[in-house]
Structure 1
Amino acid sequence: MQTTWHLHVVSFIGFLSLLRLFYPLLKWFTTRFLLTNPRRLKRYGSWAMVTGATDGIGRAFAHELAKHGLNLILVSRNPSKLASVSNNFRQEFPQIKIKIIPFDFSSEGGYEAIEEGIKGVEVGILINNVGITYPRAMFFHEVDQLTWTKILRVNLEATTWVTRSLIGPMLHRRRGAIVNISSGAAVVVPSHPLYAIYAATKAYVDKLSRSLHVEYKHFGIDVQCQVPLYVATRMVSEVADIDKPSFFVPSPEVYAKAAVEQIGIGSQCSPFWAHSLQWFLVGLLPENLIDTWRLSIGLRRRSLS
């Protein structure tokens, strides 16, 4: 009898362990096929704000939101690229309104420009996409102060500040959605050697988002952390030698389509199906093996830079 009881306990623990391993895939399947309804985006409001909106994932996010009929506030540091992107969007989506806010998140302060730009606009969806990483693989002691200061400002301070600025009006209206972009470097793998500060800032984004989700979900505000792995963007090409989409590496457009479908569904997700599969596979491996593998990748990239 005692042996049978022990077997039940061991079996139950084994079941929980398997469930934990399969959780990313189960979560992706459930949200992708059972919960998605793009029409629900309009319930948050008619305006969406996207930071880092002129390149890569940010531009693709903005384009996908425009396809759903949302008006856009585009924020990026390059005024000429902002003008070009907004003009292209206006030609493709003449029915929507577009505002642009040139702003360099790596500079110190000056957030009043964003406050002025969103004044009088009821932003229903915020996509905190802007982010930067190291120019090359480096040990922690090799990262100069200017580089790590910019990373902290863009990845950590900007996300915090913009979220703080918009969550108040959302709270007043009792509706809104905030999507903060983290990284598989902070969530999926146990470490990201030679990019430590970048990974740490993205871990902050994950914990901030999931905590705010719990704080504000009862007020009608959906805060979500999205966890992409590699996407074929310019930033990724500079640090990972990836210059085109593949089975596991989607284009920004493919990623954004999946990402927009997941807005408001849960506190954390990895929207692209192959990323969820990778997350599952990584979960099967011992952490020390992953650490060794990631370190070898970092050292190889450092030797090539």
Structure 2
Amino acid sequence: MAAVDSFQFLYTEIARSCNSYFETLALVGAVYTASRAAVLLRDCCTLVRVHFLPRMMPSRRLAQRFGQWAVIYGASEAIAKAYAEELARQGINIIFVSQDNAAVRDAALSLSQSYGVETVIVEADFTLGQVAGKPVKDALRGKDVGFLVNCVDESLAFPQSLIEVSEQDLLDLVNRNVAAITLMTRLVLPGMVERSRGAVVNISSGACCQPLPGRVTLSASTGYLDHFSRALHLEYGCRGIYVQSLIPFQVASSGRPPSASSSSSPAAAAAHGWLVPKPEVYARHAISTLGISHRTTGYWPHTLQYGLMRCIPEWIWVPASRMLLSSS
């Protein structure tokens, strides 16, 4: 009777009866671990294929592959200017489309003098509707346009609740980041389809990866641009048009606020390092991924950041971002 009351005897009997369940759970755990290891290995291979191999093994010149001219919309942003410079470095002529010519005049002159390329500035105010498209069409006529680079405007990147933003600012932001970019793509795409080649690069922001309180409009507009790029690729990828969605995180830019996906400290805007590259460093890395990945951060440390954000559940991310916002 004493043996029956023994804990060791009871444990042995329970273990014997549950032995089959233990084996099943062990098998499930092994399968899950193997699947996660396979995903990690796949992500590592993708990281090397997208960000390192293209820089070690240069491919055919972009001008030969896509065309001799590039259209840059949103060049007042530092990333877009740096991207235009990288294209000009490879001998590609640049058409700047801007609402304010003064914002890109110096950049256009600098590219012409430094790299001997042609530069054209087109003033287009998309608040006027379809009328704004006429000067763009005139500038495109007769040119082998192989690139369209659209860059999101982060002028409302500082934390603000929706009701703190004026109605006019909201309309302007949606017009610049949604309507104008979509219309620009509509204007440039027919020529690319006719030539059966071309590249559309839409530069949004890491703000589209997770919802961000205080940056509702920026998160939504960058999310639109990202999904627009992916849908456009499905629609025109089979017709020789390469569509890429670039999702950068914080990029250093003196005098500009930091990207919405990162710290909101104004001092961070001028700082730079391996996680916060200078615009020219980011553009050099990003342009090497063109033709390699349809959706990428464009910079390998940012890809690590994106992978980390993807692992954080929304129920943890939202309160953490609110705490960060309140402490800034």
Match of 1:256 among 279, 283, 306: 283
AA aligned to 1:131 is D
Q: Report if the CA contact (8 A) 2:67-2:147 is conserved.
A: yes
Partner in structure 1 of residue 62 of structure 2: 41
Deviates more, 1:26-35 or 1:172-181: 26-35
CA distance in 2, matches of 1:65, 1:111: 24
| Separation in 2, partners of 1:45, 1:113 | 21
Partner of 1:225: 245
Pairing 1:100–2:121 present: yes
Tell me if the contact between 2:74 and 2:80 (Cα under 8 Å) persists in the aligned partners: yes
Residue 293 of structure 1 aligns with an amino acid whose one-letter code is A
Deviates more, 1:209-218 or 1:75-84: 75-84
Does 2:302 match 1:293? no
Q: Is the 8 A contact 2:54 2:288 kept in 1?
A: no
Name 1:170's counterpart in structure 2. Answer: 192
TM-score normalised by length of structure 2:
0.82
Distance 2:186 2:162 in 1: 30
Structure 1 position 299, deviation (Å): 3.1
Matched residue of 2:52: which SS?
helix
1:280 aligned onto 2:302: no
Q: 1:245: Cα distance to partner? A: 1.2
| Superposed counterparts of 1:57-72, under 5 Å | 57-72=79-94
Equivalent residues, number: 298
Distance 2:45 2:175 in 1: 35
1:7-45 per-position Cα deviation (integer Å, ceiling 9, x unaligned): 555444444445556766543321123345353412111
Encode CA deviations 1:130-175: one digit per residue, 9 max, x unaligned. 4234263222233221111111111111221111111221111111
Read off the aligned partner of 2:118 and give its amino acid letter. K
Which AA in structure 1 matches 2:72? V
- Give the conservation status (yes or no) of the 8 Å contact 2:152–2:204: no
Question: How many angstroms apart in 2 are the aligned matches of 1:22 and 1:138?
Answer: 40
Q: CA deviation at 1:230?
A: 0.6
**Residue among 216, 223, 228 paired with 1:196:** 216
Go from structure 1 to structure 2 and tell me whether the alpha carbon gap of 1:15 and 1:153 turns closer, same or farther (over 3 Å shift). farther
Which structure has more relative contact order (CA 8 Å, sep 6+)? It is: 1
Give distance in 2, aligned partners of 1:87 and 1:232.
Answer: 23
1:169-190 deviations in Å (ceiling 9; x for gaps): 1111111110101211112xx2
d(CA) in 1 for partners of 2:180, 2:44: 31
Distance 2:176 2:273 in 1: 28
Aligned residue identity for 2:300 = W
Cα shift at 1:119: 1.9
Q: Does 1:78 align with 2:100?
A: yes
Aligned residue for 1:39, secondary structure, equals coil
* CA displacement 1:52-93 (0-9 Å, x = unmatched): 224411110111101111111112233233222211111111
Change in Cα spacing, 1:215 to 1:264, as seen in structure 2 (3 Å) is same
- Which ranges of structure 2 fall in alignment gaps of 5 or more residues? 1-19
| Conserved 8 A contact 2:146-2:197 | yes
| Aligned residue identity for 1:78 | D
Q: What RMSD, in angstroms, separates the aligned Cα atoms of the two structures? A: 2.5
**In structure 1, what is the Cα distance between the partners aligned to 2:129 and 2:69?**
27
- Counterpart of 1:30 in structure 2 is 49
Q: Check 1:274–1:130 CA distance in 2 against 1; reply closer, same or farther (3 A cut).
A: same
Report if aligned partners of 1:231, 1:251 keep a CA contact under 8 Å in 2: yes
**CA separation of 1:24 and 1:111: change in aligned 2, threshold 3 A:** farther
Between the aligned partners of 1:292 and 1:77, the Cα distance in structure 2 is 38
Q: Distance in 2 between matches of 1:139 and 1:25?
A: 38
Structure 2 SS opposite 1:131: coil
Q: Are residues 151 and 14 of structure 1, via their aligned partners in 2, closer, same or farther at CA, if it must alter by over 3 Å? A: farther
TM-score, with length taken from structure 1? 0.87
- Contact preservation (8 Å) 1:22, 1:280: no
